[in-house]
């Protein structure tokens, strides 16, 4: 495979993995998110040398730009999903702390 074809294929694969991250986050499968992110990071590392030494023609460059835009859009959606999940966790932790304080307080008064 030539470098331009390989470079573009790498971006296609990166987009597929990023889309998978978004779908996994949307389903709340947080352990699965870690697995996909590790695959994505390995792919990205392998992309750097190919991308830095490859010149693309105009159609390939345009496709690469489209893929980068789609990847960035999906990453923004992932960040929002993660923020929402973290906010829910934060609320649950606060509720648990409050419950523990109440249990301790009532336990002191009951004895």
Count the domains in the chain.
Answer: 1
- Establish if 94 belongs to a structural domain: no
- Give the domain extent around 77: 3-81
pLDDT at 93: 85
The whole-model pTM stands at: 0.79
Residue 73 falls inside a structural domain: yes
Q: What is the CATH number of the domain that holds 33?
A: 1.20.58.380
Is position 107 within any domain?
no
Q: Does residue 111 form part of some domain?
A: no
Q: Is the pLDDT of residue 41 over 70?
A: yes
At residue 1 the predicted structure's pLDDT band, cuts being 50, 70 and 90, is low
Residue 32 buriedness (CB in 10 A; 0-12 / 13-18 / 19+): middle
- Count the Cβ atoms, other than its own, within 10 Å of residue 80: 12
Task: Report whether pLDDT(2) > 70.
Answer: no
pLDDT tens digits along 42-98:
999 999 998 888 999 999 999 999 999 999 999 999 999 999 988 888 888 887 888
Task: Check residue 102 and give its pLDDT.
Answer: 75
Give the Cα separation of 14 and 66 in Å (integer).
Answer: 12
């Amino acid at each position: 495979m030539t470098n331009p074809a390989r470079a573009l294929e790498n971006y296609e694969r990166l987009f597929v993995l990023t889309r998978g991250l978004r779908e996994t986050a949307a389903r709340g499968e947080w352990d699965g998110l870690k697995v996909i992110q590790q695959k994505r990071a390995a792919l990205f590392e392998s992309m750097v040398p190919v991308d830095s030494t490859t010149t693309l023609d105009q159609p390939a460059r345009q496709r690469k730009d489209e893929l980068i835009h789609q990847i960035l859009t999906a990453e923004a959606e992932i960040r929002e999903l993660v923020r929402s999940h973290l906010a829910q966790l934060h609320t649950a932790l606060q509720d648990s702390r409050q419950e523990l304080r109440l249990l301790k307080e009532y336990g002191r008064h009951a004895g």
